Amino acid sequence: MLKGKTALVTGSTSGIGLGIAEALAKAGANLVLNGFGDSVAPLAQVRAHGIQAVHHGADISRVADIEDMMNTATSTFGRVDILVNNAGIQHVASVEDFPVERWDAVIAINLTSAFHTTRLALPAMRAANWGRIINIASVHGLVGSAQKSAYVAAKHGLVGLTKVTALETATTGVTCNAICPGWVLTPLVQKQVDAKASALGLSNEDAIRQLLGEKEPSMQFTTPAELGELAVFMCSPAGNNVRGVAWNMDGGWAAQ
Ligand code: NAD
């Protein structure tokens, strides 16, 4: 279905981004991966689906890096057809104790980077009259949780950016939507499980049960593969008029 299209997924060396990249590769899209750490295994994982893929190690808290990544994508594949703004970080602290440097980093990586990739990707998408921008927000783009001020602010901001981008492209073949996962067991969340286990003297399993029980009625993690299938649907012809939604996949979290 996506053969001949090019997708760029930020933060796709791990977790949700890698799951989404793999689902897009399975659907036939060529890929630009981004993110820190090992890129050899993620590249092999997506290339196994018979597509072409490159990795760019941009630190997306830096505008110059983002510009270089977008230029590399264009010079390698001609155009970015599908942009998935996924990279994100978390920091947990109360507002009055929140380190200023961590606030700036969370906003830069989780929100401002999506403004830059979007503004740089849109002209070619408009010219082709086809494009998909998918912002990986969070259930924290819809509701708050204590101790997560920067993350909740960034994710609410990302849902806002999604709506405005969708409105500005509403009469074109470009769509923009957000996906709002609840808990997904990735390295980002395992850190929070570890913190809970050590603070409360719990086993890994008990810490996971407690984490899910506080917020997620299904008591199940959403998986990167499930999120990948939702992204593929948004890229499909059936997704042509899905515009500006913040689609939660959260085990009932935001329904409470
Ligand atoms: P993860 O830690 O497994 O992966 C994050 C990815 O982002 C990695 O590839 C990492 O290298 C990359 N990254 C981090 N900082 C970067 C930077 N400055 N420049 C470039 N790349 C950078 O995290 P994840 O759980 O897969 O999260 C992915 C996205 O999903 C994030 O935006 C997160 O907020 C969101 N999300 C996660 C969950 C969850 O439960 N895991 C829930 C809701 C939303």
Sheet order of strands, 53-56 included: 53-56, 30-34, 6-9, 82-85, 131-136, 174-181, 246-249
Structural contact between residues 139 and 253, judged by C-beta atoms closer than 8 angstroms: yes
Asked whether residue 131 falls in the same domain as residue 167, the answer is yes
249: confidence class by pLDDT, cuts 50, 70, 90: very high
Read off the pLDDT of residues 75-109 as tens digits, 9 standing for 90 and up: 999 999 999 999 999 999 999 999 999 999 999 99
Q: Report the pLDDT value the prediction gives residue 112, as an integer from 0 to 100.
A: 98
pTM check: above 0.75? yes
Provide the 10 A C-beta neighbour count for residue 170: 13
Average pLDDT over residues 217-243: 98
- At 111 the pLDDT is 98
Give the residue-averaged pLDDT of 136-145.
Answer: 98
Question: Which residue's structure tokens are 């929140």?
Answer: 98
Same domain? For 202 and 111 the reply is: no
Joined tokens for residue 141: 């783009």
Ligand 1 contacts CB of residue 103 (under 6 A): no
User: Does residue 37 line the site of ligand 1, with CB under 6 A?
Assistant: yes
Residues 190 and 96 in one domain: no
What is the domain extent for residue 58? 6-184+223-255
Residue 188 has pLDDT above 90, yes or no: no
Residue 88 alpha carbon to ligand 1 centre in Å: 4
Local confidence band at 227 (pLDDT 50, 70, 90 cut-offs): very high
In this structure, are 86 and 208 located in the same domain?
Answer: no
Whether 198 and 73 map to the same domain: the answer is no
Is residue 53 domain-shared with residue 163, that is, in the same domain? yes
Do 190 and 207 lie in one domain? The reply is yes
Please say whether the beta carbons of 131 and 122 come within 8 A: yes
> Is the CB of residue 176 below 6 angstroms from any atom belonging to ligand 1?
no
* 175 & 203 share domain: no
Q: Which residue of 65, 106, 186, 226 sits with most ligand 1 atoms within 8 Å of its CB, as the best mutation to test the pocket?
A: 186
Nearest Cα neighbor of 85 from 126, 138, 45, 128 is: 138
Instruction: Give the angle subtended at the CA of 190 by the CAs of 62 and 143, to the nearest 5°.
Output: 70
Supply the CATH number for residue 60's domain: 3.40.50.720
